[in-house]
Structure 1
Amino acid sequence: MTSPASAGNSPPPLRLRLKPAGPATGFVDGAWWPRSTDLTAELAALNGALAERLGHLSRVSYELFAWDPVPRRFTAGEIQIRLEGFRSHPRNTITATGPGRLRISLLVVPPGTAESDARHAMATAAQPGNTERPDEIIAGAALPRTAGA
Protein backbone atom coordinates (compact mmCIF):
# COMPACT_ATOMS: atom_id res chain seq x y z
CA MET A 1 0.00 0.00 0.00
CA THR A 2 1.30 3.45 -0.89
CA SER A 3 1.30 6.08 1.80
CA PRO A 4 -0.10 9.52 0.94
CA ALA A 5 3.34 11.07 1.39
CA SER A 6 5.05 8.74 -1.09
CA ALA A 7 2.18 8.98 -3.59
CA GLY A 8 2.89 12.69 -4.05
CA ASN A 9 6.56 12.05 -4.86
CA SER A 10 6.01 10.56 -8.32
CA PRO A 11 6.56 13.02 -11.14
CA PRO A 12 3.50 14.18 -13.05
CA PRO A 13 3.00 12.58 -16.46
CA LEU A 14 4.84 14.09 -19.40
CA ARG A 15 2.60 16.11 -21.69
CA LEU A 16 3.93 15.12 -25.12
CA ARG A 17 2.26 14.19 -28.40
CA LEU A 18 4.25 13.01 -31.40
CA LYS A 19 3.30 12.37 -35.00
CA PRO A 20 3.45 8.67 -35.86
CA ALA A 21 6.91 7.44 -36.81
CA GLY A 22 7.56 7.77 -40.53
CA PRO A 23 8.80 10.30 -43.04
CA ALA A 24 8.94 13.83 -41.65
CA THR A 25 6.14 16.15 -42.70
CA GLY A 26 5.64 19.80 -41.86
CA PHE A 27 7.50 22.08 -39.49
CA VAL A 28 7.09 20.14 -36.24
CA ASP A 29 7.06 16.47 -35.29
CA GLY A 30 4.66 16.93 -32.41
CA ALA A 31 4.11 19.09 -29.35
CA TRP A 32 5.33 19.32 -25.76
CA TRP A 33 3.56 21.14 -22.94
CA PRO A 34 6.12 21.67 -20.15
CA ARG A 35 4.97 22.64 -16.67
CA SER A 36 7.56 25.41 -16.22
CA THR A 37 10.14 27.53 -18.02
CA ASP A 38 12.95 25.68 -16.21
CA LEU A 39 14.34 23.80 -19.20
CA THR A 40 16.74 21.61 -17.24
CA ALA A 41 13.98 20.50 -14.85
CA GLU A 42 11.75 19.59 -17.80
CA LEU A 43 14.38 17.82 -19.94
CA ALA A 44 14.97 14.70 -17.85
CA ALA A 45 11.49 13.36 -18.56
CA LEU A 46 11.59 14.50 -22.19
CA ASN A 47 14.92 12.69 -22.69
CA GLY A 48 13.35 9.43 -21.59
CA ALA A 49 10.25 9.89 -23.72
CA LEU A 50 12.20 10.65 -26.91
CA ALA A 51 14.72 7.83 -26.41
CA GLU A 52 12.75 5.37 -28.56
CA ARG A 53 13.02 7.65 -31.61
CA LEU A 54 16.32 9.42 -31.01
CA GLY A 55 18.33 7.25 -28.68
CA HIS A 56 19.30 9.69 -25.96
CA LEU A 57 19.29 13.46 -26.37
CA SER A 58 22.69 14.87 -27.22
CA ARG A 59 21.65 18.45 -27.99
CA VAL A 60 18.62 20.67 -27.51
CA SER A 61 18.29 24.01 -29.25
CA TYR A 62 15.67 26.46 -28.08
CA GLU A 63 14.43 30.03 -28.22
CA LEU A 64 16.73 31.87 -25.82
CA PHE A 65 14.22 34.15 -24.11
CA ALA A 66 11.43 31.57 -23.76
CA TRP A 67 13.22 29.72 -20.93
CA ASP A 68 14.92 30.55 -17.66
CA PRO A 69 18.74 30.83 -17.98
CA VAL A 70 20.40 27.40 -18.20
CA PRO A 71 23.98 26.08 -18.29
CA ARG A 72 25.53 25.15 -21.66
CA ARG A 73 25.56 21.48 -20.64
CA PHE A 74 23.14 19.47 -18.58
CA THR A 75 23.42 15.93 -17.24
CA ALA A 76 20.33 13.69 -17.24
CA GLY A 77 21.30 10.44 -15.53
CA GLU A 78 24.59 9.54 -17.19
CA ILE A 79 23.81 11.43 -20.40
CA GLN A 80 25.27 14.87 -21.04
CA ILE A 81 23.06 17.14 -23.15
CA ARG A 82 24.33 20.28 -24.83
CA LEU A 83 21.87 23.18 -24.50
CA GLU A 84 21.93 25.84 -27.21
CA GLY A 85 19.79 28.95 -26.86
CA PHE A 86 19.39 31.19 -29.89
CA ARG A 87 17.68 34.52 -30.38
CA SER A 88 16.80 33.41 -33.91
CA HIS A 89 15.40 29.97 -33.00
CA PRO A 90 11.80 29.59 -34.20
CA ARG A 91 9.40 30.80 -31.51
CA ASN A 92 7.51 28.25 -29.44
CA THR A 93 9.74 25.36 -30.56
CA ILE A 94 12.67 23.23 -29.46
CA THR A 95 14.81 20.95 -31.58
CA ALA A 96 16.02 17.78 -29.89
CA THR A 97 18.96 15.99 -31.52
CA GLY A 98 20.17 12.49 -30.80
CA PRO A 99 23.17 10.46 -31.88
CA GLY A 100 23.72 10.36 -35.61
CA ARG A 101 22.04 13.75 -36.04
CA LEU A 102 18.54 12.33 -35.71
CA ARG A 103 16.30 15.21 -34.72
CA ILE A 104 12.79 16.01 -33.63
CA SER A 105 11.27 19.49 -33.71
CA LEU A 106 8.53 20.11 -31.17
CA LEU A 107 5.99 22.84 -30.78
CA VAL A 108 6.30 24.11 -27.20
CA VAL A 109 2.94 24.95 -25.66
CA PRO A 110 3.64 27.68 -23.09
CA PRO A 111 3.33 26.58 -19.45
CA GLY A 112 0.17 27.90 -17.85
CA THR A 113 -1.89 27.60 -21.04
CA ALA A 114 -5.50 26.59 -20.47
CA GLU A 115 -5.82 22.82 -20.79
CA SER A 116 -8.37 22.85 -23.63
CA ASP A 117 -6.23 25.26 -25.68
CA ALA A 118 -3.06 23.27 -24.99
CA ARG A 119 -4.66 19.96 -25.93
CA HIS A 120 -5.99 21.49 -29.18
CA ALA A 121 -2.52 22.76 -30.13
CA MET A 122 -0.89 19.44 -29.24
CA ALA A 123 -3.42 17.43 -31.26
CA THR A 124 -2.94 19.73 -34.25
CA ALA A 125 0.86 19.54 -34.11
CA ALA A 126 0.82 15.73 -33.80
CA GLN A 127 -1.68 15.14 -36.59
CA PRO A 128 -0.12 13.05 -39.39
CA GLY A 129 0.53 15.18 -42.44
CA ASN A 130 0.11 18.47 -40.58
CA THR A 131 2.17 21.16 -42.31
CA GLU A 132 1.18 24.25 -40.32
CA ARG A 133 3.99 26.48 -39.07
CA PRO A 134 4.33 26.74 -35.28
CA ASP A 135 2.98 30.31 -35.28
CA GLU A 136 -0.11 29.12 -37.20
CA ILE A 137 -0.76 26.36 -34.66
CA ILE A 138 -0.32 28.84 -31.79
CA ALA A 139 -2.70 31.33 -33.41
CA GLY A 140 -5.25 28.63 -34.23
CA ALA A 141 -5.33 27.47 -30.62
CA ALA A 142 -5.40 31.06 -29.28
CA LEU A 143 -2.21 30.43 -27.27
CA PRO A 144 0.05 33.16 -25.95
CA ARG A 145 3.33 33.59 -27.78
CA THR A 146 6.52 33.31 -25.79
CA ALA A 147 8.36 36.38 -24.54
CA GLY A 148 10.07 38.31 -27.29
CA ALA A 149 7.26 37.55 -29.75
Structure 2
Amino acid sequence: MPMVVAPSRGSLRLRMKPDGSASGYVDGAWWPRSWDLATELPELLAVLAARQGSIERVTYNLTRWEPGTRRLTVDGRVVRLEGFRSQHPGTVTVAGRGRRRLTLLVVPPEATPSAGHHALMTASRRDNVDSTDVLHALDLGADAAVPEPMPAATESWENDGGSRLR
Protein backbone atom coordinates (compact mmCIF):
# COMPACT_ATOMS: atom_id res chain seq x y z
CA MET A 1 0.00 0.00 0.00
CA PRO A 2 1.53 3.37 -1.01
CA MET A 3 2.10 5.98 1.63
CA VAL A 4 -0.04 9.06 0.93
CA VAL A 5 1.75 12.32 1.56
CA ALA A 6 0.71 15.88 0.78
CA PRO A 7 3.48 18.29 -0.26
CA SER A 8 4.54 20.68 2.48
CA ARG A 9 4.58 24.36 1.74
CA GLY A 10 8.06 25.02 3.15
CA SER A 11 10.95 26.53 1.32
CA LEU A 12 12.29 23.99 -1.18
CA ARG A 13 16.06 24.19 -1.63
CA LEU A 14 16.41 23.27 -5.29
CA ARG A 15 18.36 24.77 -8.19
CA MET A 16 18.08 23.47 -11.74
CA LYS A 17 20.23 24.16 -14.78
CA PRO A 18 18.47 26.34 -17.33
CA ASP A 19 16.74 24.52 -20.19
CA GLY A 20 19.12 23.92 -23.07
CA SER A 21 22.22 23.71 -20.83
CA ALA A 22 25.11 21.35 -21.44
CA SER A 23 23.94 18.23 -19.69
CA GLY A 24 27.01 17.29 -17.64
CA TYR A 25 26.55 14.74 -14.86
CA VAL A 26 23.65 16.40 -13.04
CA ASP A 27 20.67 18.54 -14.00
CA GLY A 28 20.71 20.53 -10.79
CA ALA A 29 20.97 20.17 -7.01
CA TRP A 30 18.56 19.54 -4.15
CA TRP A 31 19.23 20.24 -0.48
CA PRO A 32 16.73 18.27 1.61
CA ARG A 33 16.24 19.03 5.30
CA SER A 34 16.57 15.38 6.43
CA TRP A 35 17.54 11.92 5.20
CA ASP A 36 13.88 10.79 5.33
CA LEU A 37 13.00 10.35 1.66
CA ALA A 38 9.25 9.88 2.24
CA THR A 39 9.13 13.23 4.06
CA GLU A 40 11.37 15.12 1.66
CA LEU A 41 10.19 13.91 -1.76
CA PRO A 42 6.60 15.19 -1.99
CA GLU A 43 7.55 18.85 -2.17
CA LEU A 44 10.40 18.13 -4.61
CA LEU A 45 8.20 16.02 -6.87
CA ALA A 46 5.42 18.62 -6.92
CA VAL A 47 7.90 21.23 -8.21
CA LEU A 48 9.62 18.89 -10.67
CA ALA A 49 6.31 17.72 -12.14
CA ALA A 50 5.87 21.23 -13.59
CA ARG A 51 9.14 20.82 -15.52
CA GLN A 52 9.13 17.08 -16.07
CA GLY A 53 5.47 16.18 -16.38
CA SER A 54 4.14 13.15 -14.59
CA ILE A 55 6.71 11.63 -12.21
CA GLU A 56 6.64 7.83 -12.09
CA ARG A 57 9.83 6.77 -10.34
CA VAL A 58 12.65 7.99 -8.09
CA THR A 59 15.91 6.10 -7.68
CA TYR A 60 18.30 6.68 -4.80
CA ASN A 61 21.21 5.09 -2.92
CA LEU A 62 19.99 2.58 -0.32
CA THR A 63 22.79 3.26 2.12
CA ARG A 64 22.32 7.04 2.18
CA TRP A 65 18.63 7.45 3.01
CA GLU A 66 16.62 6.21 5.99
CA PRO A 67 14.68 3.01 5.25
CA GLY A 68 11.22 3.83 4.06
CA THR A 69 8.33 3.05 1.81
CA ARG A 70 8.58 1.73 -1.74
CA ARG A 71 5.73 3.87 -3.05
CA LEU A 72 4.38 7.34 -2.36
CA THR A 73 1.15 8.90 -3.51
CA VAL A 74 1.78 12.55 -4.31
CA ASP A 75 -0.98 14.73 -5.75
CA GLY A 76 -3.06 11.61 -6.46
CA ARG A 77 -0.29 9.80 -8.39
CA VAL A 78 1.70 6.77 -7.27
CA VAL A 79 5.47 7.21 -7.48
CA ARG A 80 7.77 4.17 -7.16
CA LEU A 81 10.83 4.57 -4.95
CA GLU A 82 13.70 2.29 -5.93
CA GLY A 83 16.88 2.07 -3.90
CA PHE A 84 20.15 0.75 -5.30
CA ARG A 85 23.50 0.25 -3.63
CA SER A 86 25.16 0.97 -6.98
CA GLN A 87 23.69 4.47 -7.39
CA HIS A 88 26.04 7.30 -6.45
CA PRO A 89 25.20 8.20 -2.83
CA GLY A 90 25.18 11.89 -3.71
CA THR A 91 22.37 11.69 -6.29
CA VAL A 92 18.70 10.96 -6.81
CA THR A 93 17.19 10.37 -10.23
CA VAL A 94 13.62 11.37 -11.02
CA ALA A 95 12.01 9.68 -14.02
CA GLY A 96 8.83 10.64 -15.79
CA ARG A 97 6.86 9.27 -18.70
CA GLY A 98 8.75 8.54 -21.90
CA ARG A 99 12.25 8.19 -20.43
CA ARG A 100 12.46 11.79 -19.27
CA ARG A 101 14.96 11.79 -16.40
CA LEU A 102 16.58 14.31 -14.14
CA THR A 103 19.60 13.52 -12.00
CA LEU A 104 20.05 15.77 -9.01
CA LEU A 105 23.06 16.24 -6.78
CA VAL A 106 21.89 15.75 -3.18
CA VAL A 107 23.44 18.25 -0.80
CA PRO A 108 23.54 16.61 2.64
CA PRO A 109 21.03 18.13 5.07
CA GLU A 110 23.82 18.75 7.58
CA ALA A 111 25.87 20.91 5.17
CA THR A 112 26.68 24.38 6.44
CA PRO A 113 24.55 27.17 4.95
CA SER A 114 27.42 28.60 2.90
CA ALA A 115 28.60 25.18 1.67
CA GLY A 116 25.04 24.10 0.82
CA HIS A 117 24.39 27.31 -1.09
CA HIS A 118 27.68 26.98 -2.94
CA ALA A 119 26.89 23.37 -3.95
CA LEU A 120 23.40 24.37 -5.18
CA MET A 121 24.75 27.25 -7.23
CA THR A 122 27.71 25.32 -8.68
CA ALA A 123 25.73 22.24 -9.74
CA SER A 124 23.06 24.37 -11.42
CA ARG A 125 25.41 26.54 -13.52
CA ARG A 126 24.54 26.36 -17.22
CA ASP A 127 28.04 25.26 -18.20
CA ASN A 128 28.74 22.90 -15.29
CA VAL A 129 29.97 19.47 -16.39
CA ASP A 130 31.82 18.55 -13.17
CA SER A 131 31.63 14.90 -12.17
CA THR A 132 29.30 13.88 -9.36
CA ASP A 133 32.30 13.18 -7.13
CA VAL A 134 33.71 16.68 -7.64
CA LEU A 135 30.32 18.26 -6.99
CA HIS A 136 29.68 16.11 -3.94
CA ALA A 137 32.98 17.25 -2.44
CA LEU A 138 31.53 20.77 -2.29
CA ASP A 139 29.47 19.86 0.81
CA LEU A 140 32.50 19.40 3.07
CA GLY A 141 32.07 22.77 4.71
CA ALA A 142 32.40 26.45 4.04
CA ASP A 143 36.13 26.51 4.71
CA ALA A 144 37.00 23.12 3.23
CA ALA A 145 39.42 23.09 0.34
CA VAL A 146 37.66 22.06 -2.85
CA PRO A 147 39.87 20.58 -5.56
CA GLU A 148 39.88 22.28 -8.92
CA PRO A 149 37.64 20.23 -11.21
CA MET A 150 39.37 18.54 -14.11
CA PRO A 151 37.93 18.96 -17.58
CA ALA A 152 35.73 15.93 -18.38
CA ALA A 153 38.15 14.61 -21.03
CA THR A 154 41.09 14.79 -18.62
CA GLU A 155 39.09 13.08 -15.88
CA SER A 156 38.17 10.24 -18.24
CA TRP A 157 41.84 9.88 -19.20
CA GLU A 158 42.89 9.77 -15.54
CA ASN A 159 40.16 7.27 -14.60
CA ASP A 160 41.04 5.00 -17.53
CA GLY A 161 44.67 4.68 -16.43
CA GLY A 162 46.17 7.65 -18.24
CA SER A 163 48.44 10.12 -16.56
CA ARG A 164 48.54 13.88 -16.70
CA LEU A 165 51.91 15.53 -17.06
CA ARG A 166 52.73 17.20 -13.81
Partner of 2:82: 84
Residue 107 of structure 2 contacts residue 139 of structure 2 at CA under 8 Å; is this kept in 1? no
The yes-or-no answer on 1:128 pairing with 2:121 is no
Partner of 2:51: 53
Residue 60 of structure 2 contacts residue 87 of structure 2 at CA under 8 Å; is this kept in 1? yes
RMSD: 1.4
Residue 111 of structure 2 contacts residue 140 of structure 2 at CA under 8 Å; is this kept in 1? no
Q: What runs of 5+ residues in structure 2 fail to find an aligned partner? A: 1-7, 142-166
Tell me which of the two structures has the higher relative contact order, counting C-alpha pairs closer than 8 angstroms and 6 or more residues apart: 1
| Rounded Cα–Cα distance in structure 2 between residues aligned with 1:27 and 1:100 | 20
Q: State the TM-score, normalized to the length of structure 2.
A: 0.76
Residue 61 of structure 2 contacts residue 91 of structure 2 at CA under 8 Å; is this kept in 1? yes
Structure 1 moving runs of 4+ over 2 Å: 140-143
Q: State the TM-score, normalized to the length of structure 1.
A: 0.84
Residue 29 of structure 1 contacts residue 126 of structure 1 at CA under 8 Å; is this kept in 2? yes
- Whose Rg is larger? 2
Q: What runs of 5+ residues in structure 1 fail to find an aligned partner? A: 1-9, 144-149
CA deviation profile, 1:21-79 (whole Å, cap 9, x unmatched): 12551000000000011101111101111012211211000011111112221111201
- The 3 A distance-change label for structure 1 pair 78 and 31 is same
Number of matched pairs: 134
Residue 17 of structure 1 contacts residue 31 of structure 1 at CA under 8 Å; is this kept in 2? yes
Partner of 2:36: 38
Percentage of identical aligned residues: 48
- The 3 A distance-change label for structure 1 pair 67 and 141 is closer
